Amino acid sequence: MIRKSSLALALALLGSTAAQAQTETAASNTASRAFQVTGNVPVICAGGALSGGDSTFALGVLVNTTTGLLRTDLSAPDKVLTGAFCSALSTISVAATRMTAQNVTTAAPAGFSNSVDFTATASGWTTTPASVNTAASTNPAATQSRTTPFSGNITVGLSNFATTGGTTLRPVADTSYLGSVTVTLTAAN
Amino acid sequence: MSRPALSHMRKDRRTAAVRALACVAALGALASGGVAAADSAAATRTMAVSGSTPEICALQPGAVQTGSLVNMTGLDGDTLRVAQFADPRTLAVRAADATLSISAVCNFPHKVRVQSENNGMWPGDGSQKLDANGFTSAVPYRARVTWNGASNTLETDARVRHQVEDELSVNSPAVGNVELHVEIAPGASNSQANAPLLAGTYTDTLRIFLEPL
């Protein structure tokens, strides 16, 4: 839309110049020059500001301390990226890495696991939220497209926590399990 | 406003216009530059996901393994009862066996400690104070613990009444069943084999611990 508007303006100015040239021929006591005024808006995407100033989904203790199994009530407050925008049509992608024990480096023995999977969802940008599950080999929903420029908030949430390898496995003891979620806005060319 | 002043203002406006054009040209050049356009056309935010798993060991209530009872009546709560402790003819201790299965988990390297409170089964009514030669005043037994593919046996001798224990190290997390096999040998005695038992109720408390190394 913006590019079309700029082109129309340039053509109008050019047309005016041609007409003026004819006028100059007829009346030589008037001189004029036409200058094109052009500008462009670069394609820009901005990720916005993260709500709360904290960029960590802190889940706390991951396991039921009686059974050692992963808690079934794991949750963390959503993160909101406020003021995100893209000045052109765009895609939103969400990528994530599973939570992995940072201090235990040996392979988990039978009955245990060193990592925890989850689903990360980024909603608000597209009709269908972008989502990724760290346990899945493919994540076709991880990238969603938007056909118009947009400015708004993106809500990032986590769900579907599961011990990697199966729900009957227990996470090994470790003071630090770490994973990540990355949200990317990309303007289409 | 005097003319010189006006002239000065006009000159300033031209300078400003020229500067503005220069800025437009510069913006255009920047926008057409591949690196700048690529940088601004994508925005990324990365968030960490964190948690922790504390060290946990858990033992569930035990259960008798099917078919494992020999001269034992089974578990009564946490009490394992011998059906017929003494041979009615000789008063010698009769053999008894039982295997308990205890669901357990430790999510870190740990050890299993087995502890006999009295180093054998002793009468609880004070009859152990009777120093009767030729009689059994306390009964030794053994407790074998099997866990995570390894086993260890605590042998009590019932000679001195005191706490004894043994332990088994496990250098990895483990989950499954702790098997506790309690065995009283026929004729077991703290004096001599097959010595008759003094009258009384013989007991011991056997404890199992899963704990850090």
Instruction: Indicate whether A101 and A171 sit together in one domain.
Output: yes
Lowest-confidence region among A27-31, A119-123, B20-24: B20-24
Instruction: Indicate whether B185 and B84 sit together in one domain.
Output: yes
B162 in a domain, yes or no?
Answer: yes
Write the pLDDT tens digit of every residue in B152-204: 999 999 999 999 999 999 999 999 999 999 999 999 999 999 999 999 999 99
Write the pLDDT tens digit of every residue in B80-128: 999 999 999 999 999 999 999 999 999 999 999 999 999 999 998 655 5
Inter-chain touch A170–B107, beta carbons under 8 Å: yes
Instruction: Indicate whether B154 and B89 sit together in one domain.
Output: yes
Q: Which residues of A touch B29 (CB under 8 A)?
A: none
Could you report how far apart the first and last alpha carbons of chain B are, in Å? 94
Q: Minimal CA–CA distance to A37: which of B23, B170, B112?
A: B23
pTM over 0.95: no
Write the pLDDT tens digit of every residue in B39-89: 478 899 999 999 999 999 999 999 999 989 999 998 888 899 999 999 999
Angle at CA of residue A17, ends A14 and A19, nearest 5° = 115
Rounded CA gap, B72 and B83, in Å?
Answer: 5
Q: Which residues of B touch A182 (CB under 8 A)?
A: 44-47
Q: Which residues of B touch A181 (CB under 8 A)?
A: 46-47, 49
Residue of A61, A80, A163 to mutate for B, most B C-beta atoms under 10 A = A61
Write the pLDDT tens digit of every residue in A9-56: 333 333 344 444 444 455 678 888 898 999 888 888 998 898 866 899
pLDDT at B19 over 70: no
Inter-chain touch B105–A186, beta carbons under 8 Å: no
Rounded CA gap, A186 and B193, in Å?
Answer: 86
- Which of A40, A62, A109 is nearest residue B53 as measured by Cβ atoms? A62
Residue A174 sits in a domain whose CATH number is: 2.60.40
- Which of A43, A170, A185 is nearest residue B37 as measured by Cβ atoms? A43
Number of domains in chain A: 2
Quickly count: other Cβ atoms within 10 Å of residue B79's Cβ.
Answer: 10
Q: Which residue of B has its CA nearest to A178?
A: B50
pLDDT of amino acid A9: 34
B46 in a domain, yes or no?
Answer: no
The range of the structural domain enclosing residue A74 comes to: 45-187
